[in-house]
A and B are shown apart, each in its own frame.
Chain A
Amino acid sequence: MDRWKNITEIPVEQPCFVQEVQGECRLRLFDLGFFRGSRVLPMYECAGGGTRVYRVKDTLIALRNTDAERIAVEEARRDG
């Protein structure tokens, strides 16, 4: 639990595994692939910040930080 971080804080190209998702749009995030055990890879951040693109379940999904900060993840090893 202590190693859990906010997905918005994970540096780009650092794979991580989703641990917990909170908030009202939880179920929607599940449908997109952000649920416990999913491997997520932050890929890009847009100019001006505020939105990032994540690779999850073989798709690129762009999430605003206001939505993404509900996702708690644990960093994986580089080859994880």
Chain B
Amino acid sequence: MAEQKRLCIALAGNPNTGKSTVFNALTGLKQHTGNWSGKTVGNAVGEFSLGKWEVELYDLPGIYSLFSDCAEECAAKDFICYENPDIVIVILDATSLERNLPLGLQIMELTDNVIFCLNLTDEAKKKGISVDKARLDELTGIPVVEMAARQGIGLAELKELLLDVAEGRRHIYPKGLDWDSFAPETEEGYQTAAFQENRSLAFLERSKEICAEVVRKKEERDSHTERIDKIILSPKTGIPIMLLLLGGVFWITVAGANVPSDFLMQWFSQCGEVMRRGLVSLDTPLWLESLLMDGVWLTVSWVVAVMLPPMAIFFPLFTLLEDFGLLPRIAFNLDGLFQKAGAHGKQALTMGVGAYLGAKCLERGGNRRNTKKNQQKRIAKQGKIRYILHIKDFVGFLFDKRDEIKQVSEGRK
């Protein structure tokens, strides 16, 4: 048939397992990926072609379980339960399979067409963790694709498998849980907290059983991180180091930003002069010239020159801290004190950023160390004078004194 058939596929999984990476790779859409849990809020939709199929791919927000009441997680849960996607791809983190598998097991109860995508296999290899893919397939009845989505490994295999399932060449027979083992005695029993607990535990226990057979770890602990944690997370050494780190970041930003800031300010004022001369030669009315130069251009130049260099230095440094996993550790260190104030440790980070920005603004506003200050003052003063003149110009025009005013302004140029 010439017309294309449509397929609806959903990407489900725990937060931070690389769902959005897989989504981007399949659809080519630039969906923003980030490190915070719950980064994908609401559903993102993309399209791609699979053979003669036109696929609608839904990237669901990360959830731990279909049974929770969290608002973010409800969106994902509702989609899987009510929108009936043709295939559900469950992205599992190979480095913590036991935590990821319960969701996969729960989804298996809702639909047969489930595919497990074992992502982050590159991370798992680094940590010495290996997952027996064949055995996992055997125990769950679900086909497993090994992936390292960031490197692009496994995507072709995934597409092939999707095509096989869509065209009926591969049938999936999930080996679900035995619900009789935790079903309540009565109809009302389904509403009780005890049943909900038993139900959750059943999936967690089954996940534990499967992982005991399927996951092999070389080392007992990640000794490298642990050695660092001993220093960073202990109360006595942790807080001084943390203050040093944060102080260092702020100092580098302040010290590093001054030179570019000055340079940018100078460049803006030079360009401003050229533009002003151009406008004057075109005989633009004074009010328009002032609006553009003293209003728009001056504001833009101040904002960019003052804020851009610090931001360009600060945010990459901050992201570096995050990549090293230092931000949650900082939040933990401060949580004890913040608790006593009725706040939360993680607010230290937003407070810090806010305080820094405020200090930066104050510093620039009352800047006395700037060597170009004279030139800037002159420009600012000129601007003020022009403003006053333009108001007069306007008023004079109303009172028919236009010629007089124009003479005065021409004299001042």
Residue ranges of A at the interface with B (Cβ–Cβ < 8 Å): 26-28, 30-33, 35-37, 43-51, 53, 57-60, 62, 64
Contact = CB atoms under 8 A, between A and B. Distances in A.
A60 B232 CA distance: 14
A2 to B, nearest CB: 23
Contacts of A64: 335, 339
A46 B200 contact: no
A63 to B, nearest CB: 10
Contacts of B234: 44
B212 to A, nearest CB: 12
A50 B340 contact: yes
24 contacts: A27-B196, A28-B68, A30-B200, A30-B201, A30-B204, A31-B68, A31-B102, A31-B200, A35-B200, A36-B201, A37-B208, A44-B234, A46-B235, A46-B332, A47-B235, A47-B236, A48-B336, A48-B337, A51-B332, A51-B339, A51-B345, A53-B233, A58-B98, A64-B339
Given A44-B229, A47-B238, A51-B339, A27 B197 contact: yes
A62 B208 CA distance: 22
B356 interface: no
Given A30-B204, A31-B64, A51-B345, A46 B333 contact: yes
A69 to B, nearest CB: 14
- A contacts with B: majority SS: mixed
A44 to B, nearest CB: 4
Interface in B192-228: 196-197, 200-201, 204-205, 208, 217
Interface of B: 64-65, 67-68, 96, 98-99, 102, 196-197, 200-201, 204-205, 208, 217, 229, 233-236, 238-239, 328, 332-337, 339-340, 345
Nearest to B239: A47
A22 B257 CA distance: 52
Given A27-B68, A47-B337, 11 more contacts: A27-B197, A31-B64, A31-B102, A44-B234, A47-B235, A47-B236, A48-B339, A50-B336, A51-B332, A57-B99, A62-B328
B401 to A, nearest CB: 71
Contacts of A35: 200-201, 204
B112 to A, nearest CB: 25
B336 A62 contact: no
A48 B334 CA distance: 8
Contacts of A45: 235
A57 B96 CA distance: 8
Nearest to B220: A58
Given A26-B197, A27-B67, A62 B332 contact: yes
